């Protein structure tokens, strides 16, 4: 094990996706002198690499990049990136606010490449409180590389931003490691290399990822038999109309946070169609056209099984047998591969913070994204992407990153100022 105690840090950021990348930028733009290190599980920067599908676009305007809503003059804006890459005028000629996912990933990677304080290939496995008597003064953060090298890092404060965990519905949980049921988060690396001509594949779900996977598989040369299996009557469109879109404005965070908890819950429910189990209208039309064109040809390899529930799943020989119940009754159907487009879950109690729950005084982070801990616990822990219930639907998305990261950076600076002042006394 490498003991990195010698480099005692002011801040460790867990994860180096867009949330903590935005924090790195915010600290930099504040001229921060905090000793900060980010620990990232991936071997290099990558934003949802297994869903980097050809033809996919951003679902948010490029103006909601990591900085522009806070600092439109920033050298880390999407426009600065385009300028640096020599594509600014050609991008303008495209007349769009929505870059391709590939280009946005390249933008994020361009920023990540400007920071040297991220340790890649460092998956955080545990966090341990470091005590002086009754008081917790520091946190020891344990990380492990893919080839098993372990390290221990000591920090005063923590910012947790590991993203969501792929959601495995109960019916599929026992099949998680068999290699035939694969979550969309592993699509390009684990499904595509296994494709063989004529295979039968089920895609579960009706959200954006499920629809993208269905469309991508349908266009592949292997002539696959694909069923998209959804509980609802139809694939529903995501609502990105302008009045509704205002809920993603960073200024809405205060408003939402100030609501009584039952009103927040109702609001999340009533606006779920902006983000959950919905698909971009243009992709819905593309899928409809694809199914129509196959009808014209008299073909039937693609199917949409609506109002259909997966009651059970088991491996039978080399196939996964799904027990399906739908409008025409129940039946079993065998598939060579099953792709879960079933989304992500975010639960602090299942995160690397689980060991610290005895010091936690409430489940929910406060308005400043800080976890409430008891008085004997000195380190500050901030979380990014775990407060949808209290901060609104934008919490897991990109829209608020420019502002949220700066709010956290400001808190960290203030904390550091106060501890430096105490140390100097
Ligand atoms: C395919 C896809 C497309 C999307 N498109 C959009 C979009 O267009 N607009 C939008 O607003 N939102 C979009 N989202 C939502 C998405 O959550 C955000 O875009 C964004 O990725 C959130 O950033 P994050 O840093 O919080 O989480 P993530 O991007 O998930 O990054 C978390 C990082 O933490 C690392 N990590 C996890 N656990 C550990 C650990 N234990 N130790 C060390 N590192 C760890 C991960 O490897 C990852 O790099 C999309 C989501 C998906 C899946």
* Position 422 pLDDT exceeds 80: no
Other Cβ atoms within 10 Å of 128 Cβ, number: 15
Check whether 23 has a pLDDT greater than 90. yes
The last residue of one of the domains, among 298, 322, 340, is 340
Q: Whose CA is nearest to atom 1 of ligand 1?
A: 51
Cα(16) to centroid of ligand 1, in Å?
9
Residues lining ligand 1, Cβ inside 6 A: 14-20, 39-42, 47-48, 51, 58-60, 123-124, 161-163, 209, 352, 384-385, 396-399
Residues 318-355: tens digit of each pLDDT: 999 999 999 999 999 999 999 999 999 999 888 899 88
* Domain shared by 43 and 107, yes or no: yes
**The total number of structural domains that make up the chain:** 2
Please count the residues of the chain.
425
CATH number, domain of 72, equals 3.50.50.60
CA-closest residue to ligand 1 atom 30: 163
pLDDT at residue 273, as a whole number: 87
Same domain for 220 and 354, yes or no, is no
The reply to whether 108 and 13 lie within a common domain is: yes
What is residue 251's predicted lDDT score, i.e. its pLDDT?
87
Q: Per the domain annotation, does 335 fall within a domain?
A: yes
Name the domain boundary from 289, 313, 340.
340
| 247 in any annotated domain | no
Confidence (pLDDT) at 4: 60
Q: How much is the pLDDT for 373?
A: 97
- Best of 15, 24, 65, 405 to mutate for ligand 1, by most ligand atoms within 8 A of CB? 15
Residue pLDDT, tens place only, 35-67: 999 999 999 999 999 999 999 999 999 999 999
261 within some domain: no
- 258-284 pLDDT per residue, tens: 999 999 999 999 999 898 999 999 999
Is 402 in a helix, a strand, or coil?
helix
| Cα(390)–Cα(401) distance, integer angstroms | 16
Residue 5 confidence class, pLDDT cut points 50, 70, 90: low
Does 425 have pLDDT greater than 60?
no
Shared domain for 289 and 377, answered yes or no, is no
Give residue 83's Cα distance to chain centre.
27
Same domain, 307 and 406: no
Considering the domain architecture, whether residues 234 and 309 belong to the same structural domain is answered as yes
Q: What is the pLDDT of residues 245-258, one digit of tens each?
A: 999 988 899 999 99
Rounded Cα distance, 338 and 229, in Å: 10
The answer to whether residues 112 and 151 belong to one domain is yes
Q: Could you tell me the residue range of the domain that residue 137 belongs to?
A: 2-165+345-416
Residue of 142, 163, 404 to test ligand 1 pocket, by largest number of atoms within 8 Å of CB: 163
Assigned domain for 10 exists:
yes
Cα 301 to ligand 1 centre (Å): 33
| 370 lies in the same domain as 316 | no
- Residue 148 counted as domain residue: yes
Q: How far is the CA of 245 from the centre of ligand 1 (A)?
A: 21
pTM: 0.96
34 assigned to some structural domain: yes
Domain match, 171 and 208 both: yes
Reported as a single tens digit per residue, the pLDDT across 221-240 is: 999 999 999 999 999 999 99
92 and 196 fall within a common domain: no
Pocket test for ligand 1, best of 16, 17, 111, 341 (most atoms within 8 A of CB): 17
Best CA proximity match to 311, nearest among 330, 328, 324: 324
What is the per-residue pLDDT across 106-142, written as a single tens digit (0 to 9) for each?
999 999 999 999 999 999 999 999 999 999 999 999 9
Q: Is residue 395 part of a domain?
A: yes
* Claim to verify: residue 151 and residue 190 sit in the same structural domain: no
Query: How far does the centroid of ligand 1 lie from the alpha carbon of residue 71, in Å?
Result: 23
Domain boundary among 323, 340, 357: 340
Does one domain contain both 199 and 118? no
Instruction: Tell me what pLDDT residue 416 has.
Output: 85
Q: Which atom of ligand 1 is nearest to the CA of 125?
A: 41
- Residues 238/275, Cβ–Cβ less than 8 Å: yes
């Amino acid at each position: 094990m490498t003991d990195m105690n010698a480099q005692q840090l002011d801040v460790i950021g867990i994860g180096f996706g867009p949330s903590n990348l935005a924090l790195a930028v915010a600290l930099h733009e504040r001229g921060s002198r905090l000793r900060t290190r980010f620990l990232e599980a991936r071997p290099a920067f990558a934003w949802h690499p297994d869903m980097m599908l050809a033809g996919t676009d951003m679902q948010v305007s490029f103006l909601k990049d990591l900085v522009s809503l806070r600092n439109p003059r920033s050298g880390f804006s999407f426009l600065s990136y385009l300028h640096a890459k020599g594509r600014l005028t050609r991008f303008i000629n495209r007349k769009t606010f929505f870059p391709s996912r590939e280009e946005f990933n390249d933008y994020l990677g361009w920023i990540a490449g400007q920071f040297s304080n991220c340790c890649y290939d460092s998956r955080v496995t545990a966090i341990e409180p470091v005590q002086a008597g009754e008081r917790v003064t520091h946190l020891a953060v344990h990380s492990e590389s893919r080839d098993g090298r372990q390290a221990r890092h000591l920090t005063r404060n923590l910012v947790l931003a590991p993203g969501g965990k792929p959601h495995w519905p109960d019916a599929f949980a026992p099949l998680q490691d068999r290699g035939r049921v694969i979550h969309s988060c592993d699509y390009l690396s684990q499904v595509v290399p296994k494709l063989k001509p004529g295979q039968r594949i089920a895609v579960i779900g009706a959200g954006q990822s499920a629809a993208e996977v269905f469309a991508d598989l349908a266009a592949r040369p292997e002539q696959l038999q694909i069923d998209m299996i959804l509980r609802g009557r139809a694939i529903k469109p995501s609502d990105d109309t302008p009045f509704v879109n205002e809920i993603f404005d960073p200024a809405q965070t205060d408003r939402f946070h100030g609501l009584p908890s039952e009103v927040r819950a109702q609001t999340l429910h009533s606006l779920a169609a902006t983000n959950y189990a919905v698909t971009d209208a243009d992709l819905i039309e593309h899928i409809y056209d694809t199914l129509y064109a196959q009808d014209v040809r008299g073909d039937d390899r693609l199917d949409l099984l609506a109002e259909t529930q997966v009651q059970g799943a088991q491996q039978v020989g080399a196939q996964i047998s799904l027990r399906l119940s739908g409008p025409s009754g129940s039946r079993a159907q065998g598939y060579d591969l099953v792709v879960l487009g079933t989304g992500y879950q975010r639960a602090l109690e299942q995160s690397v913070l689980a060991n610290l729950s005895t010091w936690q005084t409430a489940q929910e982070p406060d308005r400043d994204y800080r976890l409430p801990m008891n008085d004997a616990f000195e380190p500050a822990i901030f979380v990014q992407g775990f407060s949808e219930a209290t901060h609104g639907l934008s919490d897991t998305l990109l829209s608020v990153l420019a502002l949220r990261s700066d709010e956290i950076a400001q808190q960290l600076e203030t904390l550091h100022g106060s501890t430096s002042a105490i140390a100097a006394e």
